[in-house]
Amino acid sequence: MRCFISIELPEEVKKELQKLQEDIRSSNIKASFSKGFHLTLKYLGDLTPEKVEHVKKRLSSCKFKKFEVTLDDFGVFPNEKHIKVIWVGIKPEEDVVKLQKEIDEAMQKDFKKEKQFKAHLTLARIKHVKDKENFLQFLKNIEIKKINFSVNEFKLMRSTLTAEGPVYDELFVYKQ
């Protein structure tokens, strides 16, 4: 089963991300839009049921304190000259990065460490942008509601690919 570790988002944040997707759709770019919003801390890949049990135990060693974050501005991966993903950042990033490193440490015997973790919420995967400069200016003109929210848990999730897109199931919750 395909698994990952993530932070669940409040409904208010999900609704704002959906609104932003609608704004982006109006630009007529060719893209596929994310449906299930979460902040991925670590992608684990395909795991056997035995490996999932092992991961559950390892993750239980992660300790963190509740923290607050706020939606920030748009970003793109890998860069503005070659846009493949549009995302919304969060700030401050430090506590999310600290939690991600804690998870990486707990998982280091079984999984590679993340090379360049960037806390972000994926909105769309871009297939083609004709005029990158105009599109980037278009993004800058979209107002993002700076919603503040608390993080007091993370989750081990399963992702099942379907014709309608991925379906996410919670396997285990880790509270602060």
Instruction: Please tell me which residue in 54, 82, 120, 128 is annotated as part of the active site.
Output: 120
Q: What is the pLDDT of residue 4?
A: 97
The residue whose two tokens read 């950042």 is: 89
23: Cα within 13 Å, side-chain hemisphere: 18
Q: Is 120 a catalytic residue?
A: yes
How many domains does one find in the chain? 1
Specify whether 54 is catalytic: no
Domain of residue 55: give its range: 2-175
- The per-residue pLDDT for range 157-176, each reduced to its tens digit, is 999 988 777 889 999 999 98
CB count in 10 Å sphere of residue 35 = 12
| Per-residue confidence band for 64, with pLDDT thresholds at 50, 70 and 90 | very high
Q: Give the pLDDT of residue 84.
A: 94
Position of tokens 């079984």? Answer: 110
Sheet-wide strand order for 82-91: 30-33, 120-128, 82-91, 67-79, 148-151
Q: How far apart are CA 53 and CA 55, in angstroms?
A: 5
CATH assignment at residue 147: 3.90.1140.10
Type of residue found at 91 = K
